[in-house]
Structure 1
Amino acid sequence: MTWLLVALGGAFGAAARAALVSWSKENGWHRVLPFGTLFVNVLGSFMLGLVVARGAGMTETVGIGIGFLGAFTTFSTFNMEIIQKIETGEGRHALLYGSGSYTLGILAAAAGYFWG
């Protein structure tokens, strides 16, 4: 049953991420920094903070925390976007994006945790 919750949550999380990142690109938010990825990672950090703080049961933790939020957020894409910025000579943007993402992600997780 656990794998089914992860699979279902992951399917919805991946679809939600794809929709938000696509929307971000279509609306020009992706020109300088990958704001779609930044947004989903910060929002996902906040949401995971809430799930953990609320002491969710195993079903919610697996389905939402591991499944949905695991697929919604993306560490691998984040890292590749930094590498691509460096390769194209945008070292400052890479530094801003990387440090900003980590800082905002930690603050969002803390906010979700304390709010929850």
Structure 2
Amino acid sequence: MTTYSPAEAAAQSGFSIDTLRYYEREGILPRIERSAGGRRVYSDGDLWMLGFLRCLRDTGMSIEQLRRYGELSRDDTTMPERVALLEEHAASIRARITELDATLVRVEEKVDWYRGELRRTGDGAS
């Protein structure tokens, strides 16, 4: 089995070592195995979980929701609850995408207005 040091896990996940410790302390991550010397040792499964947590965090999932997901993921009987949590988060992401699309339209309209003004006044670069 391949194992990774905290520094390697941090580099591969994009989280800082402090965040890895925080996620473990808060129950977002399961307890990480320790070497004979007491150092944390991350597995491929831990890195997969960190990658998924990175995805969830990057999409705006709150620490509270991450904690809940972490708790649920340690019990095989909680799949329906995990599905519900992820469906709720997916709905939140879709709503944010809709908001961002509307905002993008407004920004693009303003860019078009400025370009029109630049053409009108002759100040625009061709």
Q: Considering the TM-score relative to the shorter chain, is it more than 0.5?
A: no
What TM-score comes out, normalization by structure 2 length?
0.30
More helix by share: 1
Computing the radius of gyration from Cα coordinates, the structure with the larger value is 2
What TM-score comes out, normalization by structure 1 length?
0.32
Structure having greater relative contact order (Cα 8 Å, sep ≥ 6): 1
